Amino acid sequence: MSQLAILEYPDPRLKKLARPVTVFDDRLRKLVADMAETMYSAPGVGLAATQVDVHERVIVIDVSEDKDTLHVFINPELLWASEETAVCEEGCLSVPGVYETVRRPVSVRVRAMDEHGRPFERDCDGMLAVCVQHEMDHLEGRVFVEYLSLLKQTRIRTRMRKRHARQTAA
């Protein structure tokens, strides 16, 4: 396994749409394993393949306290979202150091496949529901900051550009 480089917002590659996975092979299983290692090392609770510049519909999530319950969603589809919403503080490995509140449905039902191509449906609540929605946004070329006011978006973009400039200069 190896760690993957995480793209940082506002990198335009984050805006690419992810293609459906059609081949369930060792390459895909290695991608899932590498994404999980990267997520755990970051540390984070979720990672979409688009965040590591692989534009396929692959998500890994682990919201467990002990980081021992990896959820893999290949080609996820949102089947249902509750009308009830809640505000939750979100952060993102692609937007390091930024945490803002976002309103999302508190429950969702997702249809997906595992890394072996087996289909399943899962009802997700709480933090898992938030993470599924957050990571699925990445597959559609969106980051959570796009739910914020234009002023906050501008401030975050400026902060990220300055951070990138400092890192490049060092």
Q: Alpha-carbon distance 114 to 15, whole Å? A: 25
Q: What are 103's two structure tokens?
A: 């309103």
Q: Alpha-carbon distance 147 to 142, whole Å? A: 9
Q: What are 67's two structure tokens?
A: 């980081």
65, HSE (Cβ side, Cα atoms, 13 Å): 0
| Active-site pick, 84, 135, 140, 146 | 135
* Radius of gyration of the chain, Cα coordinates, nearest whole angstrom: 16
135 labelled catalytic: yes
Q: What are the backbone dihedrals phi and psi of residue 150, each rounded to the nearest 5 degrees, phi first?
A: -60, -35
Q: How far is CA 71 from CA 34, 38, 96, 167, in A?
A: 14, 14, 23, 33
Q: What are 122's two structure tokens?
A: 């899962």
Tell me the catalytic residues: 135
